Amino acid sequence: MRRLIAVLLLLSGTVSAQGVISTVVGADWVFNGDGLPALDVPLGEMRGVAAGPDGSYYFLDRGNQMVMQVDAQGTLRVIAGNGLAGSLIRSAPSARNVAFSSTLVDIIADGLGNLYVSDTVSVLRIESTGRVSIVAGGGSQFPGDGGLATNARINAFGIAFDKSGNLFIVDYIGHRVRKVTPDGIITTFAGTGAETMNGDGGPAPQAGVAWPSALAFDADGNLFIAERNILRKVSPTGIISTPLPSIGYINALLFEPSGSLVLGTSGGLYRVNAAGAAIRFGDPNYLIEGAAAGTDGSIVFCDTRQNKLLKMSPAGQVVAIAGNGKFRSVPDGTPAISSYLSTPLGLATNAQGELFVADSVSYRLVKVAPDGRASTAAQLSLFSRPNSVVLDSSGGTWVSDLSNIYYTPRGGARRIVAFANSPRTPELKTVSALALDAANNLYISDPTGHRIFKLPSEGVAQLVAGTGVSGTAGDNGPATSAALNDPQGLALDPSGNLFIAEQRSHRIRRITPAGIISTVAGTGVGGFTGDGGLPVSAQLNFPKGLAFDGLGRLLVSDSGNSRIRRV
């Protein structure tokens, strides 16, 4: 998702909307670890951790698209999910038969044997009987305040219960925190919907809450909200404040039995002391996407760098309790079409005809030789936020992370060229990919702002596409009047056509040199169909990286399907 290298090199080639789509790298992965010792199981990218009353721990495996449990004896159990990507129906009698999407985010337990899972579009309840139902989201009403939560449209991330049984939900894209009462009525608890961080000292519904991600209640009923790299607090009387203004990107919050607040971040664990300062402890290289407090004073967290579930004792000793770090691993030399990928992001090709794939969840740079065999070219375990790399004609290197763009001339020192809201890029919010044209103009995709910019060698960035509002309209018209939906990868052909991977619209769009936009691949509905047919009739699933091969064929990292598709 939003946090690893996407490698893009510009090569010659063109693509026709009437081409044929096919898969060139990637095979179906079948999970077979149910009932095995948890330490012997190849786990994928994990999110969310919940502690059970019996010493077991529950977590979400986004790579295997399952809800899992490590019991007190160290055995791994699949609680929900059949391992296939799909859309959840409104209710299902058996959790094991549910096809989850690949966007599982958070999990909590209610103490009655029920689990609650957020999957970005809804919150699901998994009952102890195995039945699955939607308790919030999945509807069309926005914001839907005062109505049934199941009729509301939400972007559900972090979730938490208060002592009265009210369910609180982070609405990430909606810039709100929502509250669902036990009788199923939804209201806005914090945030105006505006992408701002303001309003301290006033009522939470009148404050700006920007990009919230995680929630936790303390024993006194204060709700703590993670907003990227800051921490907000809403008192029981509804007044919002900012007790911690700046730290690493916060992905998880928990309270220890002692009452101390612990933050799980992109740079390890932090504990907030009595003075309100966050003190880091443990390995700073942990990339934590979920954490929970154990009844014995331990902290259990998922480290997505290793794809393992780890347990830290009160004395600070860390041991793995689930995962062997070999998710979708195959021997070097395996045919690419039989190899396993795990959320591939970026693509690159070179003059030797080799294809490179940034495989995000396995933290590998995979090389596919001209003879079609795959191998690991490099390990990417030291990276977390860089997301795009391109080379210019002089040998210089452009690199971006979520907020910054760096340039390193050949043999020179790295410098920051632009960053979000900088004088050269005043409207830029975040960065997901870069591309260079023949004149060394830099193209930047902004997934948060739903726009594409062009940054010339001198001067201010110019708008290329997007209105700033997510959507799908505008084909066959000016790109600057068209809506984009989470643009990711970029690629240019020699004729100056710019290709965009729209992750959440599940399609590829093209902008001509005259500025006209159209769809060249994908139906707009996520899935995996269409090989051998027209690209516009094929289903993609969260496409991200783009590149051209030496024959002018467009390569797409179809991350949700863990495939490389070729047009």
Question: Is pLDDT above 70 for 350?
Answer: no
- Determine contact, residues 310/323, Cβ cutoff 8 Å: no
Question: Is pLDDT above 50 for 443?
Answer: yes
| Average pLDDT of the segment spanning 395-420 | 73
Looking at per-residue pLDDT, the higher value among 149 and 407 belongs to 149
Q: pLDDT by residue (tens digit) across 45-85?
A: 888 999 988 889 999 988 788 898 999 999 999 898 877 66
Cβ-proximal residues to 171 (8 Å cutoff; 6+ apart), any chain: 143, 154, 155, 156, 157, 177, 178, 191, 212
Question: Is pLDDT above 80 for 156?
Answer: yes
- Determine contact, residues 535/518, Cβ cutoff 8 Å: no
Question: Is pLDDT above 50 for 1?
Answer: no
Question: What is the average pLDDT value for the chain, to the nearest integer?
Answer: 83
Query: Residue 9: how many CB atoms within 10 A of its CB?
Result: 18
pLDDT at 84: 65
Query: Residue 438: how many CB atoms within 10 A of its CB?
Result: 10
pLDDT at 367: 76
Q: How far apart are CA 125 and CA 137, in angstroms?
A: 12
- Determine contact, residues 87/99, Cβ cutoff 8 Å: yes
The residue among 309, 306, 374, 363 whose CA lies nearest residue 340 is 374
The residue among 36, 33, 34, 39 whose CA lies nearest residue 319 is 39
Question: Is pLDDT above 50 for 5?
Answer: no
Cβ-proximal residues to 513 (8 Å cutoff; 6+ apart), any chain: 495, 496, 497
Question: Is pLDDT above 90 for 566?
Answer: no
pLDDT at 229: 82
3-state helix, strand, coil split of the chain in percent (to 5) is 5, 45, 55
Angle at 476 between CA 471 and CA 478, to 5 degrees: 75
Specify the domain boundaries for CATH 2.120.10.30 within the chain: 334-566
| Average pLDDT of the segment spanning 482-503 | 93
Longest Cα separation, the chain: 66
Specify the domain boundaries for CATH 2.130.10.10 within the chain: 43-322
List residues bridging with 446 in a β-sheet. Answer: 451
How many residues are given for the chain?
A: 567
Amino acid at 358: A
Question: Is pLDDT above 70 for 311?
Answer: yes
334-566 architecture in CATH?
6 Propeller (2.120)
Cβ-proximal residues to 433 (8 Å cutoff; 6+ apart), any chain: 6, 8, 346, 387, 388, 400, 444, 445, 487, 488, 489, 490, 501, 545
Q: How far apart are CA 434 and CA 464, in angstroms?
A: 13
pLDDT at 16: 45
pLDDT at 483: 95
Torsion of CA 484, 489, 492, 498, to 10 degrees: 0
Cβ-proximal residues to 89 (8 Å cutoff; 6+ apart), any chain: none
Look up residue 36 and give its two tokens: 């095995």
Amino acid at 275: A
Quick one: DSSP state of residue 222? P
Looking at per-residue pLDDT, the higher value among 285 and 169 belongs to 169
Question: Is pLDDT above 70 for 508?
Answer: yes
- Determine contact, residues 324/41, Cβ cutoff 8 Å: yes
Q: How far apart are CA 443 and CA 450, in angstroms?
A: 14
- 510: phi then psi, degrees, rounded to nearest 5: -125, 135
pLDDT at 173: 85
Q: pLDDT by residue (tens digit) across 418-440?
A: 766 678 888 888 888 889 898 88
Question: Is pLDDT above 90 for 125?
Answer: yes
Q: How far apart are CA 545 and CA 150, in angstroms?
A: 34
- In the structure, what pLDDT confidence band is assigned to residue 150 with cuts at 50, 70 and 90? very high
Domain 43-322 fold is Methylamine Dehydrogenase; Chain H (2.130.10)
Q: pLDDT by residue (tens digit) across 174-195?
A: 999 999 999 999 999 999 998 8
Q: How far apart are CA 483 and CA 450, in angstroms?
A: 7
Q: How far apart are CA 379 and CA 363, in angstroms?
A: 6
Judged by DSSP in three states, 97 sits in: helix
Q: How far apart are CA 496 and CA 492, in angstroms?
A: 6
Amino acid at 425: T
Question: Is pLDDT above 70 for 239?
Answer: yes
Share of the chain above pLDDT 70, in %: 82
Cβ-proximal residues to 414 (8 Å cutoff; 6+ apart), any chain: 399, 406, 407, 408
- Determine contact, residues 362/342, Cβ cutoff 8 Å: yes
Q: pLDDT by residue (tens digit) across 85-119?
A: 655 554 556 777 776 755 789 999 987 889 999 98
- Determine contact, residues 327/314, Cβ cutoff 8 Å: no
Q: How far apart are CA 341 and CA 361, in angstroms?
A: 8
| Average pLDDT of the segment spanning 145-156 | 93
Looking at per-residue pLDDT, the higher value among 316 and 386 belongs to 316
| Average pLDDT of the segment spanning 121-146 | 89
Judged by DSSP in three states, 536 sits in: helix
Supply the pTM of this predicted model.
0.69
pLDDT at 14: 41
Judged by DSSP in three states, 535 sits in: helix
| Average pLDDT of the segment spanning 281-289 | 85
Query: Residue 275: how many CB atoms within 10 A of its CB?
Result: 6
Question: Is pLDDT above 80 for 307?
Answer: yes
- 174: phi then psi, degrees, rounded to nearest 5: -75, -5
